[in-house]
Amino acid sequence: MSGAPAAAAGAAMSWSGKAGTLLRLAPLLRHSEVPAGLVLSWREWQQRGNCLLRLRQVFGGAAVAVRSSQADEDSSAHSQAGRYLTRLDVASADAPALAAAIDAVFASYGSARSQDEVFVQAMVQAEMAVVAATHAVEDGADYYAFSLAAGARTDAVTRGDVAVQTVYLAHEAPSPQRPDLALLHRALLELREHCGAQPLEAELVLCGQRVLLLQVRPLVLRGSPRSGLARRRLLAVEQRQLLQATAGCAGQRRVLALMPDWNTAELLGSHPRPLALDVFRLAIADAAWQRARRALGYRPLRQVSLLQPLAGRPYIDVRASANSLLPQALADSTAARLADAWQERLLAAPQLHDKYEFAIAQTCVDFDFDAQWRERYAGVLAPAELAHYRDTLRSITARCLAPQTLAAGLARLRRLEQPAHADADADALAVACRRLPRDGGLAFALIARLAFVYEALVRSAVARGALQPERLLLLQRSCRSVTRDFLRASGHAHAFGFLRAGTFEITTPSLGQRELTATVAEAAAVEFAPTPAERRALDRLLGETGYRLEADALLHGYCRTREAREYAKYRLSAAVSQLLEQLAAHGASRGLDRDSLSWLELDRARAASPSAASLRAAANRSAHAIDAALRLPTVFDPRCTVQQVEIAAGTPTFVGNGRAAAPLVVVDMQTRPAAVPLRAVLAIASADPGYDWIFARQPAGLITAFGGPNSHMAIRCAELGVPAILGLGWERWQRLSQAKLLEIDTQALAVTPWTDV
């Protein structure tokens, strides 16, 4: 058992395994410290009795961590991070337990060699566990990256089973003003000074003013480190433009976010290509979104786009969204105060960005409206203004509950079912581009709004105690959406061949172009009927709010609009898919393949000459790659610097009340359905309707980076009884996706990754 000689300050680091590196650094560090530890080689461990006695003497029976320190671990070419075992919180006084932990770590090497080691360290008590890196781990972008998890566990970040906040600090940025980040930043800069130019990653613990270093290793990047300094400077100019007023939009504040309205990160991904962004803009974000709301009595917003892309990210303009969800009858001054209040609350709680209409904005009068107003916005409006706001919003809510409103939406949707020309010439494309927002986008936007209002009322009935949560789950499972028809037809993909993962992405094969094996047994029908007590409780709530319908009508309307929304979603997907296929055929006739088309804006994909299109595609591809090196938050405040980006720990949505433990399989847009094993837990970053084929593989569970309580997969999983954790956030989802087996417990609101099975 030994230490190691100290390296000279400023010398290039000679990476020599976990223990050797730490012991070399320990005497040099001023801004962090290495907990006391002993190195134990495989040769020494053959005399285990002596080793155990020595360990007990050194650590006094206190708890220790037994860490791997294999000979080829943490070299400049291979970091081997997470490959070998670590055993935490082992009592050094318990010889059998300590011996078992050391044996397990050595066994994880496969065949231990005489020079292989384990590193036994004093167990430290954490206030915050941290993984810090000198560059962004995914692509080497020039940010200091800090992943932070509060609590006593030192492995909280690396396991991925708790919420983690991530902070990206550009290399040119000044030291953070936040005290904990300032300590960590200083410690990381010192490590970089001693370890040389190679990117590195460190596991740290923050305890008061002390920074404890548990591990430092080279960060092996796929390519060379990337600089985003020039792009960040240009982005600062775009930020100033975002602070300008928008005609017709009330309110002083302007916030951008990825998920509060239309779940763009779920539908498009967090950084879509130009064509996908433009087709979504055409279908929904240019006009259909606000026309549907205006028809219901919400505030009109002509010539205002819901989408406000920034560095290629599909941000939603939250000020425009807020205005579109306020009653038309409100005075401008009242609308301005409400829009600003909603945005301020979102900035204060960015983790709620995918629960915007459940936890931020009040866009209908549900059974909990008054209590939520007092909790969130007391004092924002004068009593008379609040009464007027509530009354006008209640009228809109009543209109949404009326059966004839849904009938009108379905009637418009039926226009989309009429045969359309599938020709690939310019005239046929023009017709398809007019038809998509007019019939598909508008009908879907209207029906989706009605379904949300019913959802809000029924969820508020749960909050008021009229229904129990498990009864709501049963009600959801009793709905018979179009997904069940799809699953019954999964062996006949032509019936739903238009579906494609990444609905708006032209390079993704449609289901009709893929092999899908039918593996689904018909799910047993679930029936729901309210009990007499539930009827009385719901009728009482309906009477309080003045809505002229009874409990049974409310529950029937809930299922009917939920089913209609899913049907409308499929019909819109079919129209989008047809447009993409027409564009592909039209492009092929001009010598442009799907990949080239995906990098073009819609107008250029339709009309640009082949040479001009190729040049534009190359320019857009290059710009996309540059923008990809930027780190931007899920909720963006244009007043804040982009040199320091804080991504709040997510608040995921747990769907269902079951448990699942199964091998984890990562699925993306290019995954072949037949390659996905049955009954696995699936990890999908952004799961839109085109991923519905996964249910033909009988998944044991599902996790996503993006998604909320009313998202597409929330509805699917609730209906089909699949345990799911949605909206984990990108960073935490990435860490969980490294697990070999994942355990989901939606009742305990827990997820446990296993990497050593």
Tens digit of each residue's pLDDT (9 = 90 or more) over 377-402: 999 999 999 999 999 999 999 999 99
Q: Two tokens at 424?
A: 């690939």
Lowest mean pLDDT among 67-81, 111-125, 664-678: 67-81
Can you give the pLDDT at residue 79? 55
Can you give the pLDDT at residue 489? 62
Could you tell me the pLDDT band of residue 78, with boundaries at 50, 70 and 90? low
Could you tell me the pLDDT band of residue 159, with boundaries at 50, 70 and 90? confident
pLDDT digits (tens, 9 = 90+) for 544-590: 999 999 999 999 999 999 999 999 998 999 999 999 999 999 999 99
Contact 718, 656 (CB under 8 A): yes
Which residues face 38 on adjacent strands? 120
SS (H, E, C) 355-375: HHHHHCCCCCCCCCHHHHHHH
User: b or e along 521-544 (b: 16 or more beta carbons within 10 Å of the residue's beta carbon)?
Assistant: eeeeeeebebeeebbebbbebbee
The residue count for the chain: 757
| Cα 585 from Cα 579, distance rounded (Å) | 10
Can you give the pLDDT at residue 7? 40
Q: Is the pLDDT of residue 171 over 50?
A: yes
Q: Is the pLDDT of residue 75 over 80?
A: no
**Residue with more model confidence, 425 or 757:** 425
Q: Two tokens at 628?
A: 């990809």
Can you give the pLDDT at residue 149? 87
Q: For residue 430, which amino acid is it?
A: A
| Cα 446 from Cα 229, distance rounded (Å) | 43
User: b or e along 736-752 (b: 16 or more beta carbons within 10 Å of the residue's beta carbon)?
Assistant: bbebebbbbbbeeeebb
Chain CA centroid to CA 537, Å: 36
Q: For residue 740, which amino acid is it?
A: K
C-beta atoms surrounding 591 within 10 Å: 11
Max avg pLDDT among 76-85, 178-187, 734-743: 178-187
pLDDT digits (tens, 9 = 90+) for 492-506: 555 777 888 889 999
Average pLDDT of the segment spanning 109-128 = 86
What's the angle, vertex CA 265, arms to CA 263 and CA 267, rounded to 5? 70
Can you give the pLDDT at residue 5? 36
Contact 40, 102 (CB under 8 A): yes
Which of 27, 31, 19 has the alpha carbon at shortest distance from 68? Answer: 19
Could you tell me the pLDDT band of residue 8, with boundaries at 50, 70 and 90? very low
pLDDT digits (tens, 9 = 90+) for 640-650: 999 999 988 77
Q: Is the pLDDT of residue 456 over 90?
A: yes
| Cα 223 from Cα 136, distance rounded (Å) | 12
Can you give the pLDDT at residue 12? 55
Could you tell me the pLDDT band of residue 19, with boundaries at 50, 70 and 90? confident
pLDDT digits (tens, 9 = 90+) for 723-732: 998 888 877 8
Chain CA centroid to CA 140, Å: 21
| Cα 557 from Cα 409, distance rounded (Å) | 14
pTM metric for this prediction:
0.87
**Would you call 51 helix, strand, or coil by DSSP?**
helix
Can you give the pLDDT at residue 9? 40
Q: Is the pLDDT of residue 736 over 50?
A: yes
Max avg pLDDT among 163-167, 523-527, 603-607: 603-607
Could you tell me the pLDDT band of residue 543, with boundaries at 50, 70 and 90? very high
Could you tell me the pLDDT band of residue 752, with boundaries at 50, 70 and 90? confident
C-beta atoms surrounding 503 within 10 Å: 25
Q: How far apart are the first and last CA of the chain?
A: 30
Query: CB within 8 A of 411, min separation 6: which ones?
Result: none
Q: Is the pLDDT of residue 152 over 90?
A: no
Chain CA centroid to CA 84, Å: 29
Max avg pLDDT among 5-19, 154-168, 237-251, 473-487: 237-251
Query: CB within 8 A of 370, min separation 6: which ones?
Result: none
C-beta atoms surrounding 627 within 10 Å: 18
| Cα 477 from Cα 716, distance rounded (Å) | 9
Which of 312, 301, 306, 317 has the alpha carbon at shortest distance from 255? Answer: 317
What is the chain's mean pLDDT, rounded?
Answer: 88
Contact 405, 399 (CB under 8 A): yes
Could you tell me the pLDDT band of residue 664, with boundaries at 50, 70 and 90? very high
Could you tell me the pLDDT band of residue 624, with boundaries at 50, 70 and 90? very high
Average pLDDT of the segment spanning 531-541 = 97
Chain CA centroid to CA 341, Å: 25
Average pLDDT of the segment spanning 708-715 = 81
Which of 745, 744, 731 has the alpha carbon at shortest distance from 685? Answer: 731
**Residue with more model confidence, 200 or 712:** 200
Delineate the domains of the chain, giving CATH numbers in brackets.
1-30+36-123 (no CATH), 124-227 (3.30.470.20), 247-502+525-592 (no CATH), 650-754 (3.50.30.10)
Percent of the chain exceeding pLDDT 90 equals: 58
pLDDT digits (tens, 9 = 90+) for 271-299: 999 999 999 999 999 999 999 999 999 99
Q: Is the pLDDT of residue 757 over 70?
A: no
54-61: which pairs have CB atoms within 8 A and are 24 or more residues apart? 54/1, 55/92, 55/98, 55/120, 56/92, 56/93, 56/95, 58/92, 59/92, 59/120, 59/122, 60/92, 61/91, 61/92, 61/93
